[in-house]
């Protein structure tokens, strides 16, 4: 799964990377401890143009009466995304790219949760596969929301967690966004062996209120 991540790259670098038009109300960066329900920046493709704008991380199905009317859906399992009522329409029609610098997972040592920071081994930005939804509340309020697609982890990642975000390569972005027709389902795999690097970081990040560059600094042990 992916329950926390960091995004440290400037918005102008992201819009150049994706060749996307930026919104005016992007969430601030850098952020070292992004949590579900917080706003994040994502890329969608609509009307022949890529757009880089804010969404709530935590997918809100159409039938929710309020954003908290049911479970918090911040991840979508690749194995069931095409059938699950919450996600199946979005998986066909509303896919997005979610940039990140890295994400966190935890192991346990006794009762202590030990955080790990995971990045691409080649030091390039991570781009998660995502799905999104425009939810309209009973009083007309609209909220754009999204979830990160996850896959079963390979042997390396499975030492930390059984799930891993689907990380897309640049040559896969257009297909995932629907710009190159059908076939996006074949992209929903775990990163290959050696694609990810793992570093133990301090337990300060265990608090969802913690913030700052020290959260991603590797430690010994």
Residue 2 falls in the annotated catalytic set: yes
Cis omega (within 30 of 0) for bond into 30? yes
* Per-residue tokens: 130: 């995502």
CB 129 within 8 A of CB 149: yes
Catalytic, out of 35, 79, 83, 105? 105
Annotation marks residue 211 as catalytic: no
- Residue among 2, 96, 146, 172 flagged as catalytic: 2
The set of catalytic residues is 2, 105
């Amino acid at each position: 799964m992916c329950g926390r991540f960091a995004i440290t790259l400037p918005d102008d670098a992201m819009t150049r990377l994706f060749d996307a038009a930026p919104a005016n109300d992007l969430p601030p960066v850098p952020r070292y401890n992004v949590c579900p329900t917080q706003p994040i920046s994502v890329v969608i493709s609509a009307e022949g143009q890529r757009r880089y704008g804010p969404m709530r991380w935590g997918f809100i199905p159409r039938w929710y009466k309020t954003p908290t009317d049911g479970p918090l859906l911040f991840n979508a399992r690749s194995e069931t995304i095409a059938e699950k009522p919450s996600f199946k329409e979005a998986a066909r029609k509303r896919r997005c790219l979610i940039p990140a610098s890295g994400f966190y997972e935890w192991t346990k040592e006794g009762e202590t949760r030990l955080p790990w920071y995971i990045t691409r081994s080649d030091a390039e930005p991570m781009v998660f596969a995502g799905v999104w939804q425009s939810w309209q509340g009973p009083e007309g309020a609209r909220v754009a929301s999204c979830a990160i697609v996850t896959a079963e982890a390979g042997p390396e990642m499975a030492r930390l967690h059984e799930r891993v975000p689907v990380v897309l390569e640049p040559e896969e972005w257009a297909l995932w966004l629907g710009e190159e027709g059908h076939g996006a389902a074949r992209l929903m795999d775990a990163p290959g062996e050696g694609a990810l690097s793992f570093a133990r970081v301090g337990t300060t990040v265990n608090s969802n209120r913690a913030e700052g560059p020290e959260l991603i600094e590797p430690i010994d042990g």
